[in-house]
Amino acid sequence: MTTTVLTESPQQAAHFIREGEVVAFPTETVYGLGANLFDEAAIRKIFASKGRPADNPLIAHVADLSQLRLVARDVTRAAQKFIAAFFPGPLTVLLPKSERVPLLATAGLETVGVRIPRHPVAREFLSACGVPVAAPSANLSGRPSPTTWETVQADLDGRISCILKGDQTEVGLESTVVDCTGVVPVVLRAGAITLERLREVIPETRLSEGGAGELPKSPGLKYRHYAPQAGVVLVAQPHEASPAANAAYIGIGAHPQAASFGRHRACDSVEDYARALFLFFRQCDAAGIGLIYCQAVTEAGLGLALMDRIRRAAEKHEW
């Protein structure tokens, strides 16, 4: 059992990284669980503290473009274009890894995912760390990604050295992951940098076979993700959800019998829905809800990522 220090100081949090410890920190997507990328003992602590399978690679977070060269052997033409258009932001580019990046962090792969977050606290923290920071989402493996520091604490208190406190995250879903190592860029995980926006930069960009989340190249995607304890059911229209005290509903349209649900959330937009989803899942679990109805949205723009996460949550069985 470790004492988990709560702080609002990026400098104090960065001190723990330099000491070889793991630290949860806010980004614009979800909270990350960081450690010095070049310190294998620290990387091991990430896998241990969240119970993450060793075959699931970590994303390298860097403060600025000068650090990119430390982690990537080659920055491909496609990556250069996406970086120019979308960094800093909720996008991860896969590149050939440099020799310094331990295979432990990439789960044995010769590629590394790299991202520069745009969240000001994350950037201050990463600058203060002075090293690239490997970070998965800061949840216990198999639980929904954390969008507030309180949910990080609920999962990892006593298991990590520090939580850098920030606001509820702005996007609410994990970054877009795009493989830039081949001839044509391939989206392995949909996110807030949408397929449409990537195609404005490189029109040939495609989704990986099997859709927005079926990732032969992304080992993490074979695990059940984003899943609350409750069952999750997709409905096209609000009235298809059956009201009950132990059921919940979330969607863009309000349910006509909103008050008959244990929890009910009508969202203003797809953006609002994405921001709210993971916290809603956790609140439903805390309230002992057995079934969560999620209204489907159009699979365009951010809706593609949102539907990917809802479908994964609705998946009943371990893959």
Nearer to ligand TXA, 203 or 319 (CB): 319
Give 68 or 94: the residue with its C-beta nearer to ligand TXA. 94
Q: How many whole angstroms separate alpha carbon 32 and alpha carbon 38?
A: 17
Among 10, 88, 113, 303, binds ligand TXA (CB under 6 A): 113
251 interface partner picked from Mg ion, ligand TXA, none, CB below 5 to 8 A per type:
none
Of 135-143, 156-164, 238-246, 270-278, the window that binds Mg ion (rule: CB under 5 A) is: 135-143
Select the residue interacting with Mg ion from 76, 111, 137, 218 (CB under 5 A).
137
**Interface with ligand TXA (CB under 6 A), residue from 88, 132, 185, 220:** 220
Asked if residue 26 has a cis previous peptide bond (ω within 30° of 0), the answer is no
Asked if residue 175 binds ligand TXA (CB under 6 A), the reply is yes
Using the rule CB under 5 A, is 141 a contact of Mg ion? no
Q: Rule CB under 6 A: which of 40-59 touch ligand TXA?
A: 56-59
Neighbours of 135 (CB within 10 A): 26
Residues ≥6 apart with Cβ < 8 Å to 151: 31, 139, 278, 279, 282
- Rounded distance, CA 174 to CA 190, Å? 8
Please report whether residue 132 would count as binding ligand TXA according to CB under 6 A: no
Whose CB is nearest to ligand TXA?
220
- Please state, in angstroms and rounded to a whole number, the distance separating the CA atoms of residues 271 and 196: 16
88 binds ligand TXA per the rule CB under 6 A? no
Alpha-carbon distance of 166 to 311, in angstroms, equals 29
**8 Å CB contact between 76 and 170:** no
Taking the C-alpha atoms of residue 64 and residue 228, their distance in angstroms, rounded to an integer, is: 35
Q: How many CB atoms lie within 10 A of CB 103?
A: 12
**Spatial separation of the C-alpha atoms in residues 280 and 41, rounded to whole Å:** 35
Q: In the range 268-297, which residues lie near ligand TXA by CB under 6 A?
A: none
Site stretch for ligand TXA (CB under 6 A), options 10-18, 39-47, 171-179, 310-318: 171-179
Residues that bind Mg ion (CB under 5 A): 136-137
Residues that bind ligand TXA (CB under 6 A): 27, 29-30, 32, 56-59, 92, 94, 106, 109, 111-113, 115, 135-137, 174-175, 177, 188-189, 217-221
